[in-house]
Amino acid sequence: MIQEIANGSYPGVVCCHCTGKIAVAGRSAARYQELKENESNEREELNSRVFTLRCQICEKERVYGFREIREFEGAPPVRVPRPKRGAAKMVG
């Protein structure tokens, strides 16, 4: 994973709703790389593993498969924490 950052690329998927780029979490990215390197006997697992991601652009969530992961050039999008729903606003 350190090598990917040094090369200016990151693993991610394309949002099926808005076509934005979604970076894959470190744990899933590491497992994907491991499965990709051991193609012979773990190929079926690569096709069957899934994970859920939420797009930071349209905020829609979907289940994606490891087979949908691609390498994107550049830095991954910055995740901006959104305010919690129902949080009281401070009046100053």
> What confidence score (pLDDT) does residue 43 get?
65
Q: What is the DSSP string of 7-68?
A: HTEEEEEE-TTT--EEEPPHHHHHHHHHHHHTHHHHHHHHHH-EEEEE-TTT--EEEEEGGG
> What confidence score (pLDDT) does residue 91 get?
60
pLDDT digits (tens, 9 = 90+) for 35-86: 777 765 566 766 778 889 999 888 899 999 988 999 999 888 776 666 776 6
Residue 67 vs residues 38, 56, 83, 89: alpha-carbon distances, Å: 14, 21, 32, 43
What are the residue ranges spanned by the domains of the chain?
2-72
> What confidence score (pLDDT) does residue 34 get?
82
